Chain A
Amino acid sequence: MSGYQTGVLIILCFNIMAAYAVYLPLVAGQLNLGIAGFMAIGAYTAAYLTTETGWPLAAALPMGGAAAGAIALVVAIPILRTHGIYLALATFALGQVISAVFLNLEVVGAAAGYQVPLYAPPIAVYAMTAAVVLFVVALSQTRFTLYLTAIKNDRLVADLLGLRVRALQVAAFTIGAVIAGIGGGLYAHHFSFIEAQHFSVSLSIYTVLYVLLGGTQTVWGPLVGAIFFSLAPELLRAGESWRYVLFAALIVAFMAVRPQGLVTPTGIRALFRAVGRRAATSRVRS
Chain B
Amino acid sequence: MIAQQLINGVMLGSIYVLVGVSFTLAIGILNFLNFSIPGLFMVGGMVTWVMLTGGWHWAFAIGAALAAAALVSLAVEQLSYRRTRGADPEVPLVSSLGFLVLLENLALLGVGSDQQAFPSLLGDFNFRIGGLVIGAAQAISLVVTFLLVIGLSIVLGRTNLGRQIRAIAESRSTAVLLGVDVGRLVPKIFVLTAMFTALGGVMFALSYLQVSPFMGEGVGFKGVAAMIIGGMGSVWGAVIGGLIIGVIEVGSIWAFGADTVNIAVYGSLLALLILRPHGLFGRPAIREKL
Contacts and interface: CB of A to CB of B under 8 A. Distances in A.
Given A78-B274, A79-B277, A248-B98, A208 B90 contact: yes
Contacts of B27: 85
Nearest to B103: A248
A180 B222 CA distance: 25
Nearest to A89: B228
Contacts of A96: 221, 262, 265-266
Interface string A233-273: 00000000110110111011101110110000000000000
Contacts of B289: 83-85
A81 B278 CA distance: 11
A260 to B, nearest CB: 6
Q: How large is the interface on A (under 10, 10 to 19, 20 to 34, 35 or more residues)?
A: 35 or more
Interface stretch (B42-50, B76-84, B129-137, B145-153): B76-84
Contacts of B273: 79, 86, 89-90, 93
Given A252-B79, A260-B87, A83 B288 contact: yes
A255 B288 contact: no
Interface residues of B, number: 50
Contacts of B278: 82
A89 B270 CA distance: 8
B30 to A, nearest CB: 13
B51 to A, nearest CB: 22
Given A84-B290, A90-B270, A256 B102 contact: no
Q: Is the interface of B mostly helix, strand, loop or mixed?
A: helix
Contacts of B109: 241-242, 245
Interface stretch (A43-51, A99-107, A137-145, A167-175): A99-107
B285 A100 contact: no
B259 interface: yes
A178 interface: no
Residue from B87, B90, B289 having most chain A Cβ neighbours under 10 A: B90
B238 to A, nearest CB: 14
Closest 4 pairs (CB-CB, A-B): A259-B87, A251-B98, A248-B102, A100-B262
Interface of B: 27, 33, 79-80, 83-84, 86-95, 97-99, 101-102, 105-106, 108-109, 217, 221, 224-225, 228, 232, 259-263, 265-267, 269-270, 273-274, 277-278, 284-285, 288-290
Interface of A: 26, 29, 31, 75, 78-79, 81-86, 88-90, 92-94, 96-97, 99-101, 103-104, 111, 155, 201, 205, 208-209, 212-213, 216, 241-242, 244-245, 247-249, 251-253, 255-257, 259-260
14 contacts: A75-B270, A85-B290, A96-B266, A97-B270, A100-B260, A101-B263, A104-B263, A201-B221, A208-B94, A209-B98, A241-B108, A244-B101, A245-B105, A255-B79
